[in-house]
Amino acid sequence: MAPILLNCMGNDHNEYIKQLVQVKNPYLDTMEEDILYHFSLGTKTHNLPEMFGDIKFVCVGGSSNRMKAFAQFIHQELEMPGNPEEVSDICEATDRYCMYKVGPVLSMSHGMGVPSISIMLHELIKLLHHAQCRDVVLFRLGTSGGVGLAPGTVVVTDKAVDYSFLAQFEQVVLGKVVTRSTELDEEVANELLQCSSELQNFPTVIGNTLCTHDFYEGQGRLDGALCSFSHEDKLEYLRKAYEAGVRNIEMESSVFAAMCRICGLKAAVVCVALLDRFEGDQITSSHDVLVEYQQRPQVLVSHFIKKRLGRAV
């Protein structure tokens, strides 16, 4: 915490502390320096409050190119000064993740799958904590396979569920399984749905998201190098998923929801469905159509951000 806060008294001080991004690790306070290795940042080498203290929105997605494009897009949407083509990668000293700051918005890549996004989230949450950020909303923007939805439909996640359709994330810690809730912020989800009705550019639904540890067998695909089940087995599982409220499948939402929830961060997962998994396993839409689909979560979250900042038309 900033030293000046120690002199504050009363409810205002308590409320300020409450709004700051929290970490759940008592050992961090005893460390002389915290090196955010995969970002190539650190508490001694960088002035994190000065660099990131005004961040209010963090948008993360799997692809580095997509998150650079989002940074350029939000730069134009917020009418920031300078050339959006010249946004610079704060993490350019490492090739693990990319990071772009556009005013109060941070745009970052997280790679593919739970392990990759988990590493990024640990360091991101510590970064926001060290920077003394307050009232931050996190978004995961992505693509997914739809379950009973037309391609191009945007899904705002209600709960991220596991293979048994339970709203939980299991993390093995010191050989023991720790189970954490994966419910996301209802207020943010409803606000996003309201934003989608104002845009009216594409269908948007709120539904559960099935998070798997694999793109092929884990998602019931028949086109991987391995397949030990029948087409009928696949359809039966998808039907059970649909009945459990699942509307899309991806590979990062569970740990994203769990870590944000336990650290008191408001968060949302916004993914576009590239296909209906009842209809097939491979993506067959043209490149141009897919590019437009992938922009839909960005457009929706951009509208949300502009409304929160009082800049929506």
Cβ atoms of 157 and 272 closer than 8 Å:
no
219 carries a ligand binding annotation: yes
Nearest C-alpha neighbor of 122 from the set 36, 17, 14, 7: 36
Ligand-binding annotation for 140, yes or no, is: yes
Ligand-binding site membership of 143 (annotated): yes
Quote the CA–CA distance of 129 and 20 in Å, as a whole number: 7
* Cα 308 from Cα 306, distance rounded (Å): 5
- DSSP letters of 126-164? HHHHHTT-BS-EEEEEEEEEESS--TT-EEEEEEEE-TT
Dig out the tokens for 43 from the structure. Answer: 């508490």
Answer yes or no: is 96 a known binding residue: yes
Q: What angle do CA 67, 72, 78 make, to 5 degrees?
A: 120
Q: Which residues contribute to the annotated binding site for substrate? A: 219, 221
Q: Which residues contribute to the annotated binding site for phosphate? A: 96, 140-143
Q: Which residues contribute to the annotated binding site? A: 96, 140-143, 219, 221
